[in-house]
Amino acid sequence: MTADFVEVTPNILMVPCDFVSVVIAKGEKLAVMDSATATTMPQAILPALAHLGCGLADIDYVINTHGHWDHVQGNPALVAASGAKVWIPAAEMEKLSAVADHFLADGEIIDLGAGLTFQVISTPGHAIGSASFYEPNEQILFSSDSFQGYNKGIPLMFYSPSQYLQSIHRIQELPVETMILGHRFAWSGQPQFVLRGQAHIQQYLRDCEHAATKVAAA
């Protein structure tokens, strides 16, 4: 992808920041989900914010899916520019508690106002506290690194292969029309940040399941 951002819906944008994705969601409140690396923030998200009629100072929340460096290094720059509150999955407390203002529980609803909500879904396995964020109206899932395809190039990394498989099975039962990944993970289709259509998404999850099963059996 060479665009500055991908419009998933008019108020949900995916920003490719080098090799990692960031999601910007705007209701009455503005949230940046994951923050990529220190070298990409905040410049990488400026075009997307402008598209939404916003600037850095308008960011209300920085919400992380997990605590790995390539998804949180941009937090300080965004907080410094906006005064945003940092929300993290509760199970990632050990990594990020020093910078967190709120700990997200499984099933919690992130309400950005104007009818835009995301359900927090605990999807551990890649990290101890990996979470995915699900928007039910358009059936959009921001899974970040929770599900990693085969993979090639970026090594598969698991905190727990067994929990990873359980998380796959949980999401396989969820109606998902659009899935936003944390990286362009390799699978049997075209590597890309945004997958569309249940058939593609279910195939991607089967590829993840196949890879994780081989790792668990090794």
Among the ranges given (135-139, 150-154, 170-174), the one the predictor scored with the smallest mean pLDDT: 150-154
pTM, to two decimals? 0.94
Residue 14 has what DSSP assignment?
E
**154: confidence class by pLDDT, cuts 50, 70, 90:** low
Query: CA angle 185-187-190, nearest 5°?
Result: 85
- pLDDT at position 1 is 36
Architecture of domain 6-217 in this structure: 4-Layer Sandwich (3.60)
Q: What is the largest CA-CA distance in the chain?
A: 50
Taking residues 80-96, report their average pLDDT: 92
Taking residues 174-198, report their average pLDDT: 94
SS3 state of residue 153: coil
Return d(Cα 85, Cα 87) in angstroms, integer.
7
Among the ranges given (102-111, 131-140, 183-192), the one the predictor scored with the smallest mean pLDDT: 183-192
- pLDDT at position 195 is 97
- pLDDT at position 96 is 73
